[in-house]
A and B are shown apart, each in its own frame.
Chain A
Amino acid sequence: MATFTDPLDSITDPSDWGDTSFPNLSKLDSLLRCHICKDFLKAPVLTSCDHIFCSVCIRRSLESDKKCPLCHEETYESKLRKVLLLDEISSWFTRNRPELLDKHRPTANNTPEPVAAPEAEKPAAVLRYESRKKRAAEDPLVECPVCSTFMSADELQTSHIDSCLANKRARPSPSRPVISSFFKKERTPQTQPEFVKKKPKITNLDPTISTNKLKEKLNSWNLPTGGTRHQLETRMKEFISMYNANLDSVNPVDDRVLINRLMKWEGTYSLSNTAGDAEEDGAQWRRKYKAEYDELIKQARANMNRMNTKLDTTD
């Protein structure tokens, strides 16, 4: 089998539900996917023409073409609105999908598994809460030096202190420590306090900007300023997409995390090979890949009369 970067098994597809006891779940699976990346929606945003995509996907697409990918209507980044509730639904499905898939595997006689009695098994969320409560009882609670919230030492060091220092907007939580750390992990944006200030989005890069000003801009975001003009532009544009997309998500990460991701992305982008030597003429190519083509012909002939599941229908 081919040696690709990601093993095919780890890639999810709506057709995975086909041979389970609840194949209709493929429809739900498909609805929760971004039409651009085909993965589950992440920080979904709504366009002015009422279509939904991952924030980062539509922002990248709009970099090159100001049209909606689904209806080709003109649309702009400034009109994008985040849909936090959908973000939560999508994350829930992503998290629970493996278990759902497992529970619906075809049984020996193809009958759906009987619904477990509610007392038999506690829902995962309850188990998590209980284990966290146990941990909280074991770990002594410490006070964050910046915002005075109480939490376990572990949480303070690993996740809280960075975002607290960066934003300086970590809210002072009610002084019931166990519950506050429960909420921190559980992502409930509907309970976010009103006084969290909305961070402004970065405006689109003006392509006529001078190189010096561009370097200044990169510098102001702690981004490297090395490379050609084209590289600088690409870096800034990608950072703008990632930064704005981050603001559209239920759980925004710290700017430093973004910068890290950006540099990794840039690293892979420049290293990767693209076409290479695909200049061989038709006949040469056909001969070179005869075995591959034969295999594909076999597959195509086999699926000739199939109707595919037609999941990607738009309005």
Chain B
Amino acid sequence: MSTPARRRLMRDFKRIQQDSAGGVSASPLADNVMIWNGIIIGPQDTPYEDGTFRLRLTFDEQYPNKPPNVRFTSEMFHPNVYGSGELCLDILQNRWSPTYDVASILTSIQSLLNDPNISSPANVEAANLYKDHRSQYIKRVRQTVEKSWTEDMLDVGDEEDDEEDEDEDDDGSEKGEADDKEERP
């Protein structure tokens, strides 16, 4: 049941598996190649540094002639990200090109993190803080970065644990480790 969109998505998958760089990765669902999970690591030397931001990308049969629907599933604080996690990004709307693939979409979003477009704000509070109270803005962003680490720790159907004893190390490389409870489907 191979359509041009599916074939292209398989190529995108192979490309991102073999050749991705710069702290992004993604893969389709096991049972549906039209829906993907993605990860963007916040770039170094930005308030988003080391954040492990999760996304969901939804494609249809018109891909690559039409862009996917992309939204963050992690909590975000950014002038161009709606509360729902949806993005306001030109390459996903009017500046879309069929030459983009999953890797380039994620890399573009990663660049957007430290380079917001204030003129079309999706999150007005974030836009205002970015403009007028930069240190406050940075603080709010760091909160989402830390939250993205503890999202790793949450168990299925669990209320949030008290994270009083959060690790303070910036490295964060330990935090991705799978914990005891594995939820493999």
Q: Which residues of A contact B (CB under 8 A)?
A: 2-6, 8, 11, 13, 15-16, 18, 35-39, 57, 60-61, 63-65, 69-70, 72, 265, 268-269, 271-276, 278, 282-283, 285-301, 303-304, 306-309, 312
Whether the Cβ atoms of A274 and B59 lie closer than 8 Å is: yes
* Residues of chain A lying within 8 A (CB to CB) of residue B85: 282
Evaluate whether A5 and B19 lie within 8 angstroms (CB atoms) in the complex, with A282-B75, A291-B183, A301-B41 already known: no
Report the minimum CB–CB distance from B64 to chain A (whole Å). Answer: 6
A275 near B99 with CB under 8 A, answer no
Chain B residues with CB under 8 Å of A72's CB are: 95, 97
Choose one: A278, A283, A307; the contact of B58 (CB below 8 Å).
A278
Pair B23/A300 contact, Cβ less than 8 Å: yes
A-B contact list, 29 entries, CB within 8 Å: A2-B30, A4-B28, A5-B2, A5-B10, A11-B11, A13-B14, A15-B15, A36-B98, A38-B12, A38-B15, A38-B101, A39-B7, A57-B98, A60-B4, A69-B98, A282-B75, A282-B84, A286-B74, A289-B29, A289-B37, A291-B183, A294-B152, A295-B27, A297-B152, A300-B20, A301-B23, A303-B22, A304-B23, A312-B104
Given the interface pairs A36-B98, A69-B98, the reply to whether A272 lies near B27 with Cβ below 8 Å is: no
Q: Is A285 touching B15 in the complex (CB atoms < 8 A)?
A: no
- Counting CB contacts under 8 A, is B129 at the interface? no
User: In whole angstroms, how far apart are the Cα atoms of A64 and B6 in the complex?
Assistant: 19
Chain A residues within 8 Å of B184, by CB: 291
Closest to A6 in B: B10
Asked if B15 contacts A306 (CB within 8 A), the reply is: no
Q: Which of A57, A61, A268, A294 contacts B176 (CB 8 A)?
A: A294
CB distance from A110 to the nearest CB of B (A): 20
Is B56 a contact of A285 with CB atoms below 8 Å? yes
With A300-B25, A301-B173, A308-B22 in contact, do A286 and B151 touch (Cβ < 8 Å)? yes
Contact of A37 with B23 in the complex, beta carbons under 8 Å = no
User: Roughly how many angstroms separate A289 CA and B62 CA in the complex, as a whole number?
Assistant: 26
